Every structure is written in C-alpha cells, then in structure tokens.
Amino acid sequence: MLGVEDNKLLCQVGPGTPMGDLMREYWIPALRSEELPAADAPPLRVRLLGEDMIAFRTTSGRVGLIQNACPHRGASLFFGRNEEEGLRCIYHGWKFDTAGACVDTPSEPAESNFRNKVEAKTYPCQDVNGVIWTYMGKRTSAEVPPMPELEAFLLPQDKVRTQLVLRECNWMQGIEGELDTVHQAFLHIGAIDQADTEPGSFDYYITGNRPAVFDVIDTDFGTSYGAYRPAEADTYYWRVAHFLFPFYAMTPTGVLGPDIKVRAYVPIDDNNTMLWLVQNRPQNPGVNAMGRPARAANAGGRTGAMEFLPNTSDWLGRHRITQTYANDFMIDREAQARRDSYTGINGILQQDMAVTESMGPIYDRSKEHLGTTDALIIRTRRKLIAAAKALRNQSVIPPGVDQPGVYRTRSGGIILPRSVEWQDATRTLRYPEEAAQVAVTETGGGAGS
C-alpha cells in the first residue's frame, strides 16, 4: 500500500513536480528520427512530461523542440513555416531558431531591436541512431549530462527493432507491469498446461510452478531481481530483470546474455505514456538457452501482432493500436471460455495494456494489497520516491545521470544449478562488457599488446 501523497509524487510528472523534475535531469527519447523525415519537413506536435512542444528539422538538418505557443500572442507554432534554419509563426511572421532566439520580427519596424528581447522556450536535442533525444532539465547546454549508454539504443539501425506504442495510463502503471514477472504465468500463459509445453523449455518450468521466489537488490542504475522456479532436480529456472532510472525496464524475456533490449515508459503527461520497445534482432528467435522451443504449441493468445491506426497530428495521435480500452481490446469471450486464451485478448502487449488501462488513468495505490511477489515493485517505488525527495530537498543528483556506463546491463532467463548464488553466477552475462574487459586484463591483451 502507498499513501495518497506518495502516490501523487510517484505519478505526477508536470513542470515543478518532484518526479517531473527528476525525469528532467536525464536525456529523454522524444521521437523517432523518421518522424521528422527531411530538412524543412512539416513540424510535429510532441507532448512530453505534460509540456506541449513543437518538433522541427531545420534546413541544415538540426532538430529543434520549441514551445507550442508563439511568445508574441500565443498562436500555435505547429502551423508555422519551417524555413531557412527556423520556424516562422504564420500569425505575424515572427521567426525562432532551435535555441529559441527570435531572429526576425517582420511585423515590427525595420529599425526595431525588439526581437533581441524575445525568447522562446526550447530544449536541446540529439539525433542518434534513429532516435531524437531531448534534455528538459535546468543545466545549460554546456553542462548537460552524458547520454545514457543503453545498449539497445546504441545499436546500428539495421541491427535493432524499434516500436512505439501509446499507452492510455500513467507511466508507473505500465512500468510496474514490466517489474511483475509472475503475471506472465497467468495473464499470458494461464490457459496453457505443462503437458502442452516442450520439456526443458522456459514455459515448461513456468507452467509447472506458476508462483516464483524473489530476490531483489539495489543497483547503481536502479533495482534488479532474480526470480526462480524449480527446473530439473538440481537446477532452478531464473528470470533476471531490471528497473533503470528514470523510466526504463529490461524484461526477463528471452535468454540472458545475447538478448539486448530495453523498454522506456516515457510520460506524455500524467494520464498517457509512450512506450518504446527497443531490441536487437534475434539470431535464433523462439529458442531458449537449451536450444529448445521457448513457446508452447498452444500460444494462448500471444501471437497477435499489433495493428496500428493511421497517425494523426493530434497531441495523442501517434502510435495508436487498433485494440483499445474503448473497444475492450477486441476481447473474444468464446476463446476465453474455451481456454484457447486465458484473457480472450490477442497479443502479449495488448493483454498488458488491457489490465493496466483498466485501473484508470492513475491508480489509487492506497487501496491495493501487495504480496511477496510484488517485492521489486515495492523496492522500486521506494527508491524512486526517495530519489525525487532527495533531489527536491537536498539537490542530490539521481542515479545514473552522470554515470552513463551503469546502464550497460542485460536481462533474461537462465537455468542455474541450485547450489550457486544467482548474482555471482550471472554477472558475466548481465555485464558482458565488464567481463570482456576483465578477460583482456587477465590475458595481458589490449592496446599495444
């Protein structure tokens, strides 16, 4: 259970809120590069952390993120003319560059220097590997923090699969679903019996023992857990996953080690979230660490690909799927009754969206009753709230802001002997770059060798 005030602190992200100020300390993925496809392309409405802004790409290719309302009389710069290294308001022709400087006021006398006294609010942007990032914090352009070294975002575009999905709920509801590994055994594969799975597969162990035992730890980047179930007589099946400040999750899907992935729950505002799904393209999809199929023959509603509605120019008009809360996520009650699917909803993410959005835009956590398998959620909430209060009260910089290398970690599933400790046994898989550096040191390799 969470108190009402702490719940507000956790969920509210607008300007001046403790959690909003915390998130503004970090670089934030704002949109895909292809959404501003060319120089002087039409501007785009973008809402981030409750702020309405306009994104545009200049003649030279630079990206600007500027306040929606023109500083002159408040007309929307979405209708502006994107031309010659700036965005020109169509109301009176005032023009602004990517730094917010007013570079032209044609409605004023030619001898006037009034434009030098006018400035629009803008945020610095970086266009990296197909993603446009922005920094919305208080540091100057010369003091901005380094970009987070999230491996999935660092991969070349031809090596990564990126998808965005609008979620109609608070960011915390979405990310808490990622931190809850036990729901998979019910929401996603609750209709699958162990007899229908391949012996030795991850699904085989999950369906054979649906609860899990958690071990939760604090990390430099946030929190992590190892959750285990019995596998063979002398082994456990472990699911290892992470929360990374301020809004990232690395899920336990796939195999620990080769899978490079991250999910970002970027708040649009208090009631809506843009989910980023970023993952390397698997070399051998659907095969677990033992070389056996990781899926049961009866997919239980997990095979449904998302279908997207056409994008619109509205603030919430991009990356919307056809299955929504308004149409009950197209639930098939007959399939649910036949146990073809536990939920009757086709698609893993769609199932996640149904339950988190059914809680309402912002769930009142003072009414919940948490169990032992909610351990990571409890620890993560406490750490987020503590970090937001520390920033507000003592100006303590949140985890990872100035240590980008701490984000170089991985998640996934693995079979381990019952006699080993999971943190030690998986460290080289969770931190492969660290392991490679140790190997070079131990062999005397490296530069000049």
Q: Given phi > 0 = left and psi -120 to 50 = alpha, else beta, which region is 395? A: left
Give the pLDDT band (50/70/90) at residue 230: very high
Give the pLDDT band (50/70/90) at residue 283: low
375-394 vs 4-11: helix axis angle to the nearest 10?
A: 80
Q: What is the pLDDT of residue 434?
A: 78
Average pLDDT score over residue span 112-139: 95
Percentage of the chain lying above the pLDDT 90 cut: 87
348-357 vs 171-178: helix axis angle to the nearest 10?
A: 130
- The span from the CA of 7 to the CA of 22, in Å, is 15
- Using the structure block, give the residue that is written with the tokens 């003072």: 366
As a dihedral over the C-alpha atoms of residue 81, residue 82, residue 84, residue 85, rounded to 10 degrees, the angle is 130
Is the bond preceding 37 in cis, omega lying within 30 degrees of 0?
no
Q: What is the pLDDT of residue 360?
A: 96
Average pLDDT score over residue span 393-418: 97
Q: What is the pLDDT of residue 297?
A: 42
pTM of the complete model: 0.92
- The span from the CA of 311 to the CA of 318, in Å, is 5
Tell me: pLDDT of 294 over 50.
Answer: no
Average pLDDT score over residue span 196-214: 93
For residue 28, the cross-strand partners are: 134
Give the pLDDT band (50/70/90) at residue 281: confident
Tell me: pLDDT of 343 over 50.
Answer: yes
Percentage of the chain lying above the pLDDT 70 cut: 92
- Using the structure block, give the residue that is written with the tokens 């352009």: 141
DSSP per residue, 394-438: H-PPPTTSS-GGGG----EEEEEETTS-HHHHHHHHHSHHHHHHH
User: For the segment 400-409, what is each residue's pLDDT rounded down to a tens digit?
Assistant: 999 999 999 9
Average pLDDT value over all residues in the chain: 92
Taking alpha carbons only, the member of 355, 380, 332, 377 closest to residue 168 is 355
